[in-house]
Amino acid sequence: MSSHGWPARAPSGRIAYVDGRYLPHGEAGVHVEDRGLQLGDAIYEVFAVLGGRIADEDEHLDRLERSLGEIALAPPMGRAALKLVLREMVRRNRVRNGFLYLQVTRGAVKRDHPIPALSPRPTLILTLRPFDVEAAARRQAEGIAVLTRPDERWGRCDIKTTQLLANLLAKTEARRAGAYEAWLVDDNGFVTEGASTTAWIVDRDGRLTTRDLSHAVLPGVTRRVILEAAAEAQLPVVTRLFTPDEAKTAKEAFISSASGAAVPVVMIDGVRIGNGTPGPLTRRIGELYAHKSGMRAAAAEHHG
């Protein structure tokens, strides 16, 4: 056992990566004064690994680089080198379907709030875990419930920072109420996004609808691919504000994230959406996303 009472070695044999070293998951750690740990001075990404391939890899790396630039945090390495590390994590962990978590912090330095004039070397952390395929399939087949909560997050939600306290409080409240996700509502009464997902509805005119991008929402990678796939399929799409009341009277609703492209929402605040079952457009979006993302992953693996 470690000094914290944790197993010294992860029983599953999982491998983590910290600053150039591949380590048993239970032995990986960062410096006590790492700014990600002490100040939340860090950016992260989550990649889905599907069939041993990393989904939407370049799109996630695009967003990673944008988020790093927004807080003046240097990349830990070049994109080509980082892709090699990502693939090595998949290989070493022998995971076919899972989530690859990446975090970049500003590194370890004497604690002080301002960004250091001479910033230390960034800390790069990677972990990988399998996901529950059966549970994911159940959510797709049966749909999920959503609880609306006030959006109490900071003003730059477009940056994928590890500062997630407001998100986790909303998500916890939703789970305790029997819902899977929380949809956050801004001071003007409009849905921003889920605590860890993008919020979508199919409005009364049958249009695929999600909020337009701004500082109020994260530019979801899966959102981006869905919009591209929908446009290619000539499906009606609109990006605009919508309220919880409109969502509750929508034809369909769903969420998207790296953990699921089009997970049906069948209930919001106890109100049944449509006929209370996953809708046809939601299922169609899931199919379009899977095809487009799968083609990209295969091409990236071939060229990599």
Residues comprising the chain, all counted: 304
What gap in Å lies between CA 26 and CA 5, rounded to an integer? 11
What gap in Å lies between CA 301 and CA 206, rounded to an integer? 36
SS3 content of the chain, % helix, strand, coil (to 5): 35, 25, 40
Q: What are phi and psi of 165, to 5 degrees?
A: -60, -45
Contact 192/219 with Cβ under 8 angstroms? no
What gap in Å lies between CA 50 and CA 294, rounded to an integer? 9
- Which of 110, 160, 248, 292 is an active site residue? 160
Q: Are strands 15-18 and 42-50 parallel, antiparallel or unpaired?
A: unpaired
- Known catalytic membership, residue 160: yes
121 three-state secondary structure: coil
What gap in Å lies between CA 89 and CA 85, rounded to an integer? 6
What gap in Å lies between CA 4 and CA 18, rounded to an integer? 19
Residues identified as active-site: 160
